[in-house]
Structure 1
Amino acid sequence: MRRRTRIFCICMAVICFGVLLWRLFVLQIIDPEDYAARAADQQLRDTVIPAARGEILSSDGTVLAASETCWTIRASPRELADELVEPAAKALSEILEIDYEETLEKFSQRSSNDCLLRRRVDKEMADAVRTWCSENGAEGIQIRQDTKRVYPEGDFMGCLLGFTDVDNAGLWGLELQYNELLTGENGRVLTAKNAWGYDMPETYSTLIEAVPGATLTLTIDANIQHYLESAVSAAVQEHNVASRAVGIVMDVQTGAILAMTVKPDYDPNDPRTIVNEEVRDQVNALSGEERSAALQAAQQAQWRNKAISDLYEPGSVFKLITAAAALDTGVCTPDSQFVCAGSINVAGTRFRCANGHIHGLETFAQGLAVSCNPCFIQIGARLGKEAFCDYFEAFDLREGTGIDLPGEIKKSEYYTADRMGPIQDFVPWPSGVLRKKQRPPAAVP
């Protein structure tokens, strides 16, 4: 019996020590990182230091978007002494200009380890909170350094710059397009804490510095942009433009955009406020879900960059494409002659020259100089619809430009050769001369 008991005890000891050794092997060799992370989580408080977002500059060095230091006030109610719950709620609600009842309710949740009081306060408010906590020995009120996005030029280049959310992530415009480039790498402060989650009395911390985002320099020239915005704004007022006006200045040698605007524009510091007073009043007159939907639609329309997101009929600007195609194919020369009698009849539709002009006999070069409609209808007829359409693609008018802004429409609407109508036999020109009739090409890129 004794022998069996000894053997049983030895076996149990071997099993117990075997399990213990195996567990130690797992903890130290197979999976040490997981348990080390658990220990660190129990022993350290990890506080994030937000990285400053990179600046956006114009080509001449004007700061268009920057990051400004601010502070976020948070609290750990369970660290706050019971007798300070009500005084702290009263004092901090006054300093931070927040609701007292809501603040008291947050502080009264004695098991809570974290609650937000207010984001993005200035230095004066943060210092006032720090002073009150110091004078009253209040524990658990956290004053965390943060950053916020600011646009020093105010109501300037809103349709291009876009804006960010409360976490400094890009939501629109260049801020969205280059969000990854502009976003920095957050830093951290690791502070020792006790078993209750409070900071240890002894000072112990490890600082990992934040890395700011990269700087973005645009091709936009701030001086040219100011001139353009001023001119377009004046035109909007003079002509009572209802659906916003667009202006673009481009370097013809490189294609670089030197200025671009849509007016009226919004202030990227306050992008959600509707600029158009009439639209704002209409939205405010609504309520509930109807108001929310109307507000969202109005904001989307306000933020929309019409310069790249809307389709336009080019009008007489397209005469340059027609002229280039005609010269390139050789169907016309600068000295080729045409007749303008003020209007021209094409397939039953009469097209007039602008402002009632009658240019008479004119050369190709003269017709281009005065933007003569009858002249260019005749040039298009000489070119032929097949060749004309081929030049749409040659000038890259069938695709988007690839500009580095979000929201560019990726297609063009244009006539193809088979959509330009039947070729007629003859058409009497105003001069009385019979010529071969062909429906004039048109394009809407």
Structure 2
Amino acid sequence: MSDNLKTSPNKKGTNKKGGDGNISIPTDVLQGRLTIILVLIGIAFAALFFKILMLQKNNAVEYNKKILSQFKYESKEIPYKRGDILDRNGTYIATSEKVYDLILDAKQINSNQDKYLEATVNLLSEFFGYSTDELRNVIAEKSDNYYVVYAKNISYEQKIQFEEKVEEFRKTQKEAKEPKEIKGVWFEAKYKRMYPYGSTACNVIGFSGDESSKGYAGIEQYYNDTLTGISGREYGYLNDRSSLERIFKDPIDGNMVVSTIDLNIQKIVEKYINEWQNSTGSNMTAAIVMNPNNGEILAMATSRTFDLNNPRDLNPYYSQEQQDAMDDKAKGEALNNIWRNYTVSDTYEPGSPSKVFTVASAMEEGAINGNESYNCRGFEEIGGWKIRCANRNGHGDINVTEALMESCNVAMMDISRAEGGKKFYEYQKVFGFGLKTDIDLPGEADTSSLVHTAENAGATDLATNSFGQNYNTTMIQVAAAYSSVVNGGSYYKPHVAKQILNSKGAVIKNIDPELVRETVSAHTTIFINEALRRTVAEGTGGAAAVAGYDVGGKTGTAEKYPRGNGNYLVSFIGSVPAQSPEVVCYVLVDTPHVADQARSAYASSLFSKIMTEVLPYMNIYSNVDEGIDVSSFPSAEGITDSSTQTEAETKVYSREEVIPNDGENDLPGAPAGETQE
């Protein structure tokens, strides 16, 4: 017998040693012990299971977070819509259109290439025309990336059509033995800024960046905070049941800006500027049309335009060879020059339109009453300079009204001298020269250092300033100042925005006319308006006449600095109807591309063409009164005498205005801060 234990049927509770020395354990005792061991093991497992349950209950969120942290999960931005820009009639001139970026989930596609890759690549290629090789390369190179922006600006129509193709493909694969699937393709919404009218009103509107998040130039920049909304966001979080859920914070769309611009008037202005540029042309041609009675800008245009939908295109102005030679800084400077709004940002010597302000300020101060006469012999010698008149032969005896009609420099010098430098320069500020108009457009030029003061002006400065030379202005300054003189003396802040609306179209804010100050009295306005009417009817402004309308205005022919090079800036500013203006138009032609530049008729004829279409459109009806009796106007003394001048007499002085220079000491140079081109 072996040494192993043996069991035998002994009596209960006894152990006996056999003859061979082995101990025998009863069967029932052994089974009892095994049962105890099994029970203990069961208890241990139960305790362990209970412990796991408690850990799961008490630490589920923490453990789930640890698990989720192994996955790449980010909150997703939901784009807002940038506010629209409308013209005064409600036409959309800038808007945002929802488009989509095509996103590839390369990781998902690569998770089962046999099933997903070829089907996805082939459908993308078939529908969008993408290269299959390029698609495969991108998916391979970005194999661990779940977010690859493959294409931008997919239209809503394209997105829907592609999704329909995907659905059709899935239906065809239902009965296939080894069905393929389109996976890892989705679309992410965003907004793209759109300008329905291309370059129209580009100087006023400005443009927005690729993501419609920042404005550049024009209304887009000045009202950027108004137009900008707040992005929404999609968040992921764990709820009380430790389940991953998503919540959405809706975006807040930007507010809309209703501009004062009338798209139809803007198109008329641009049509004639383009017509001029395509025929004769100039270095710069620009025009402003505004309401003189509230400061609203109805149109603002220059010959320096750009496509708002493609604002960084240099091709219209630079050859490819020139562009290739530019570094980033040079390209940036070139673009900024194209985007620059000449009517607000560039300065120049205004020339003879400033004679309106010389006469107006002298009348306000009582230095003249309108009855004065002056003797013009073609020049005056002041401070050692021979300063010539527009008519080198001289106008002879000429009164105040005729001095405006025939643009006599000598009379203006005499008038400013009678007024005195102190008052003359005070009124320069009253009319806004040397001050910003604070128009609601970016980049307004600071002319504070380009205008004389009584403290730093000499006799020659006063003389030349009286007819618009040797100080600098901007177009918007001249237009606003002129409007105040012809409207009865109210200087309104010029502005290009009329209303602010919310994204639903409800009015948030009306931008009311802002009266800044009073400039002249009604008496002065009546005198000036009649003189300006006669300037067009009988004087130098004949080319600005509009058939059937009573037009008032002033010509300008300023010789550019440096003098003696034959370069001129010609202009015309006019108002209709002459005695109670409803519209002002200022046209400027800088350096006409002709041999004989000194002809204000270039600008005057542009004014005439523009107004011939604008006036009927604005429902401003013909109001010419052939038998007007100006003596019936209150406080109109001084007008009657000049208005009785015969046609034969007026023809003597009705010639083109020029400010010539044929001698070394004819005219002093421009002050510091010469005209910027």
Equivalent residue in structure 1 for 2:267, among 203, 221, 226: 226
Q: Which moved more, 1:376-385 or 1:81-90?
A: 81-90
Change (3 A) 1:443 1:297: closer
Q: Which amino acid in the other structure matches residue 137 of structure 1?
A: E
Q: Structure 2: which 5+ runs fail to align?
A: 1-57, 170-179, 239-243, 474-677
What SS does the aligned partner of 1:174 have?
helix
Task: Decide whether aligned partners of structure 1 residues 66 and 140 sit closer, same or farther in structure 2, where only a CA change above 3 A counts.
Answer: same
TM superposition shift of 1:210: 3.2
Q: Which entry has the higher C-alpha Rg, 1 or 2?
A: 2
Deviations 1:191-223 (A, max 9, x none): 789xxxxxx9xxx75454433221100111222
CA distance in 2, matches of 1:110, 1:275: 40
Are the structure 2 counterparts of residues 100 and 390 from structure 1 closer, same or farther at C-alpha, using a change threshold of 3 Å?
A: farther
Most deviating of 84-93 and 314-323? 84-93
Instruction: Kindly indicate which of the two structures has a greater share of residues assigned to helix.
Output: 1
CA-CA distance at 1:98 after TM superposition = 5.0
The SS at the match of 2:343 is: helix
In structure 2, distance between residues paired with 1:41 and 1:368? 84
- 103-112 vs 379-388, which moves further: 103-112
2:155 counterpart residue number: 122
Deviations 1:216-264 (A, max 9, x none): 001112222112112222232333213x322111211112211111113
Q: Is the 8 A contact 1:386 1:417 kept in 2?
A: yes
1:287-436 alignment runs, 5 A limit:
287=325, 290-354=326-390, 356=392, 358-412=394-448, 413-421=450-458
How far apart in 2 are the matches of 1:189 and 1:331?
Answer: 72
1:283 aligns with one of 322, 325, 329: 322
* CA deviations over 1:259-318 (Å, ceiling 9, x no partner): 1111131110111112535x234434x35xx35444333222111111111112111111
Relative to 1, partners in 2 of residues 1:438 and 1:105: Cα closer, same or farther, differing over 3 Å?
A: closer
For residue 167 of structure 1, what is the aligned residue in structure 2?
211
Aligned equivalents of 1:122 and 1:357: distance in 2? 69
Q: Which moved more, 1:219-228 or 1:180-189?
A: 180-189
Match of 1:214 in 2: 255
CA separation of 1:43/1:318 partners in 2, compared to 1, >3 Å: closer, same or farther? same
More moved, 411-420 vs 369-378: 411-420
Q: Distance in 1 between matches of 2:277 and 2:154?
A: 38
Question: In the TM superposition, what is the alpha-carbon distance from 1:56 to its structure 2 partner?
Answer: 0.6
| Structure 1 residues 78 and 379: alpha-carbon distance in aligned structure 2, compared to 1, 3 A threshold | same
Q: CA RMSD in A?
A: 3.4
Task: From the superposition, tell whether residues 69 and 355 of structure 1 become closer, same or farther in structure 2 (CA, over 3 Å).
Answer: farther
TM-score by length of 1: 0.77
| In structure 1, C-alpha distance between the alignment counterparts of 2:268 and 2:73, rounded to whole Å | 55
CA contact (8 A) 2:80 2:230 kept: yes
Q: Secondary structure at the match of 2:282?
A: coil
Structure 2 residue 471 is matched with structure 1 residue 443: yes
Distance 2:138 2:99 in 1: 23
Equivalence map 1:105-116=2 (5 Å): 105-108=137-140, 109-116=142-149
The range that moved more, 182-191 or 264-273, is 182-191
Q: Per the alignment, do residues 420 and 190 of structure 1 end up closer, same or farther by CA in structure 2, a change over 3 Å counting?
A: closer
Q: Distance in 1 between matches of 2:369 and 2:376?
A: 17
What letter matches 2:84 in structure 1? E
| Cα shift readout 1:382-433 (whole Å, capped 9, x = no counterpart) | 122222222222223222111111111233311233443368xxxxxxxxxx
The alignment partner of 1:444 has SS state of coil
Distance in 1 separating the partners of 2:130 and 2:331: 25
1:172-187 matches, within 5 Å, as 172-187=217-232
How far apart are residue 368 of structure 1 and its match?
A: 1.9
Residue in 2 that maps onto 1:16: none
State the shift of 1:342 in Å: 2.9
Counterpart among 50, 57, 66 of residue 95 in structure 2: 66
- Answer yes or no: is the 8 Å Cα contact 1:420–1:439 preserved in 2: no
SS at match of 1:334: coil
Letter in 2 for 1:126: K
Contact 2:382 2:459 in 1 (8 A): no
Alignment of 1:244-263 (within 5 A): 244-263=284-303
- Paired residues, number: 389
Q: Structure 2 CA distance, aligned partners of 1:71 and 1:367? A: 65
Q: Which residue of 2 aligns with 1:21?
A: none
Q: What TM-score comes out, normalization by structure 2 length?
A: 0.52
Q: Distance in 2 between matches of 1:179 and 1:261?
A: 21
Number of the residue aligned with 1:5? none
On the 8 A contact 1:340/1:374 being kept in 2, the answer is yes
Aligned: 1:92 with 2:92: no
Q: Secondary structure at the match of 2:441?
A: coil
Contact 1:415 1:444 (8 Å CA) reproduced: no
Where 1:180 maps in the other structure, the secondary structure is: helix
Alpha-carbon displacement from aligned partner over 1:318-341 (angstroms, at most 9, x marks no partner): 112211221122111111111122
C-alpha distance in 2 between matches for 1:100 and 1:295: 36
Change in Cα spacing, 1:68 to 1:444, as seen in structure 2 (3 Å) is same
Tell me, in whole angstroms, the C-alpha distance in 2 between the residues paired with 1:111 and 1:158. 45
Q: Do 1:43 and 1:192's aligned partners in 2 also have CA atoms closer than 8 Å?
A: no
Q: Secondary structure at the match of 1:216?
A: strand
Check conservation: 1:341, 1:360, Cα contact below 8 A: yes
Change (3 A) 1:95 1:419: farther
Deviations 1:146-190 (A, max 9, x none): 221111122201111111111112233211221221122333445
**One-letter amino acid of the counterpart of residue 152, structure 2:** R
The answer on whether the counterparts of 2:100 and 2:190 sit within 8 Å (CA) in structure 1 is yes
In terms of mean alpha carbon deviation, does 182-191 or 95-104 score higher?
95-104
Alignment-derived partner of residue 139 in structure 1: 183
Shift of 1:111: 1.5
Distance 1:369 1:379 in 2: 15
1:344/1:127 CA distance change after superposition, 3 Å: same
Q: CA 1:438–1:407 in structure 2 vs 1: closer, same or farther (change >3 Å)?
A: closer
What's the counterpart of residue 136 of structure 2? 104
Instruction: Tell me the amino acid that sits aligned with residue 143 of structure 1.
Output: F
Alpha-carbon separation, structure 2, partners of 1:343 and 1:98: 75
Partner amino acid, structure 2, of 1:74: I
For the residue of structure 2 that corresponds to 1:59, the secondary structure is coil
Measure the CA separation in 2 of the matches of 1:300 and 1:111.
Answer: 42
In the alignment, the residues of structure 2 paired with residue 357 and residue 215 of structure 1 have an alpha-carbon distance, to the nearest angstrom, of: 58
Could you list the per-position Cα deviations for residues 105-145 of structure 1 after superposition, in whole angstroms to 9, with x for gaps in the alignment? 43122221211111111234323543455535233222122
In the alignment, the residues of structure 2 paired with residue 273 and residue 157 of structure 1 have an alpha-carbon distance, to the nearest angstrom, of: 17
Say which SS state the counterpart of residue 402 (structure 2) adopts.
Answer: helix
Contact 1:44 1:192 (C-alpha < 8 Å) held by counterparts: no
User: How big is the shift at 1:359?
Assistant: 2.5
> Quick one: which amino acid aligns to residue 252 of structure 2?
V
**Percent identity over paired residues:** 26
